[in-house]
Amino acid sequence: MERELDPEAIREKLAAFLNIIGRQMTRYSDALDLEHRGSDLRLDIRNLTVVADTLDGAVPLSRMGSGENWSATMFSRILRCTGFFGKKHRPVPAFLIFDQPSQAHYPPETDVEGSLDVLADADRTAVLQLFKLIADAVVLSRGPALICKLRG
């Protein structure tokens, strides 16, 4: 019991878990072609944020640019954490609801129906990549079922 409560052992275990989660978040980021693609992502639990470790230094989520980057990074964090906790047999929600996950790609003034037809090719591709990532993450991790509310 003393060994399990050892602060150094706890720090090492936490670091290992965060590295595992960060590696998968990096893979998700690469699949979505985000701004800091190719950089390692990690969870900064002291500041409760995601950080991209780039050749120019650490870039926290607040400086990662567009809403597309923020929302996709948030999805990668949630998907990876719920998958990780599920594999560790820790309590995770049976399902998650994402409200308008593609919202960052839609010009606010153009489409009321939520059709992909109004999107530029790059935005359409990004939305499809996001939904594919979500579906793949659920299947691979046997994580929670996801419900995504689309525009409209």
Q: Is 1 inside a domain boundary?
A: no
Residue 111: is it exposed, middle or buried by C-beta count within 10 angstroms (0-12/13-18/19+)?
Answer: middle
CATH of the domain at 58: 3.40.50
Q: Is 135 inside a domain boundary?
A: yes
Retrieve residue 148's tokens.
Answer: 């995504």
pTM assigned to the model: 0.67
Q: Is 36 inside a domain boundary?
A: yes
Q: Is 59 inside a domain boundary?
A: yes
Q: Is 106 inside a domain boundary?
A: yes
Q: Is 132 inside a domain boundary?
A: yes
Structural domains counted in the chain: 1
E strands, the chain, are 40-44, 49-54, 57-60, 95-99, 145-149
3-state secondary structure of 140: helix
Q: Is 103 inside a domain boundary?
A: yes
Q: Is 2 inside a domain boundary?
A: no
3-state secondary structure of 108: coil
CA distance 96 to 79: 10
Domain that holds residue 49: 7-149
Q: What is the pLDDT of residue 152?
A: 43
Paired with 54 in beta bridges are 57
pLDDT string in tens for the chain (152-residue length)? 777 778 888 899 999 999 999 998 888 888 877 777 788 989 998 998 889 999 999 999 888 877 777 777 877 788 778 778 878 888 777 677 777 777 766 665 555 565 656 667 777 777 788 888 777 777 666 555 555 555 44
